[in-house]
A and B are shown apart, each in its own frame.
Chain A
Amino acid sequence: MPTPNRILEGVRIVSFTTGYAGPYAARLLAQYGAEVIKVESHPGGLDTFRHYGQGNNVNAAPRFIECNLAIRSMTVNIKHDDGKRIIKELAAKSNAVLVNFRPQVLGRLGLGDDELRKANPSIIILKLPGLGETGPKNWYGTWGFNLNAFSGMTYLWNHPGQDRPVGSQGVYPDHLGFISGPTIMMAALLRQRLTGKGSIIDVSQGEVTAYTLGVSYLESAINGVDPEPRGNQSLTAAPHGCYRCQGDERWCVVSVTSDEEWRRLCGVMGNEALAHDPRFATCIERRRNSQELDAVMSEWLATQTVEDVAHRLQALGVAAGVVQNGTDLCQDPQLRHRDYFQNYDASPIGPFEVPRGGILFKDQPEEDIPLTPDLGAHTEQIMRDVLGYDDDAIAKWKGEGVLV
Chain B
Amino acid sequence: MSGEALLSGFRVLDLGTAMGAFCGKVLADLGMDVVKVEPPSGDDLRAEPPFAKGHSNREGSLRFAYFNAGKRGITLDLSRGSGRKLLLDLVEKADVVIDSHDPGYLDDLGIGYGEMVARRPKLVLVSISGFGQDGPYRDYRAPDLVTNAMGGLLFISGDPSLTPCVPPGGQSYVYTSIYSAFGTLLALWQREDKGLGAHIDASVQASMALHEHVAFTWSSEGRLMKRAGSQHQHVAPANLFPCKDGWISFFATQRHWPIFLDMWEGHPAELDDPELLDNGKRRAAADWLNPMVASFTSRFGKEELSVLLQKHGLPALPVNTPRDFMEDPHIVERGFFGTVSHPVLGEFPQPGVPFLLDGERRGPRPAPMLGQHNGEILGGDLGLSEADLGVLAAEGVI
Contact = CB atoms under 8 A, between A and B. Distances in A.
* A and B: interacting chains: yes
Contact of B164 (A199, A251, A329): A251
B189 A145 contact: no
A220 B337 CA distance: 13
Interface string A318-333: 1111111111111011
Contacts of B397: none
A334 B137 contact: yes
B19 interface: no
Interface in B206-250: 206-221, 223-234, 238, 240, 242, 247-250
A179 interface: yes
The B contact surface, by secondary structure, is mixed
Contact of B325 (A28, A32, A152, A171): A152
A360 B321 CA distance: 37
A358 B207 contact: yes
B354 A240 contact: no
Given A180-B178, A355-B216, A164 B240 contact: yes
B174 interface: yes
A64 B242 CA distance: 33
B377 interface: no
Most chain B CB neighbours (cut-off 10 Å) among A134, A164, A223, A326: A326
A354 B219 contact: yes
B52 A145 contact: no
B322 interface: yes
Interface stretch (B127-135, B263-271, B378-386): B127-135
A338 interface: yes
Given A179-B175, A319-B143, A219 B6 contact: no
Contacts of B166: 231-232, 242
Contacts of B216: 62-63, 66, 352-355
A152 B320 contact: yes
Interface in B303-333: 310, 313-326, 328-331, 333
A221 interface: yes
Interface in A337-370: 337-338, 340-341, 349-350, 352-355, 357-364
B387 interface: no
A179 B334 CA distance: 22
B380 to A, nearest CB: 24
B272 interface: no
Interface in A235-260: 235-237, 240-244, 249, 251, 253, 255, 257
Nearest to B320: A152
Contacts of B132: 334, 337-338, 360
Contacts of B182: 28, 179, 182-183, 186, 359
A226 interface: yes
A201 B355 contact: yes
A323 B149 contact: yes
B206 A143 contact: no
Contacts of A282: none
Contacts of B233: 169
B310 A168 contact: no
Contacts of B187: 7, 361
Interface of A: 1-2, 4, 7-8, 10, 28, 32, 52, 62-63, 66, 131-143, 145-159, 162, 164-172, 175-176, 179-180, 182-184, 186-191, 193-194, 199-204, 207-208, 210-224, 226-227, 229-232, 234-237, 240-244, 249, 251, 253, 255, 257, 314, 317-330, 332-335, 337-338, 340-341, 349-350, 352-355, 357-364
Given A176-B175, A201-B357, 12 more contacts: A136-B330, A158-B165, A164-B247, A165-B247, A183-B30, A220-B322, A230-B168, A255-B146, A329-B151, A333-B136, A335-B209, A354-B215
Task: Please provide the 7 A-B residue pairs with the shortest distance between their CB atoms, ordered closest to farther.
Answer: A358-B207, A326-B218, A186-B185, A149-B249, A319-B141, A337-B135, A156-B168
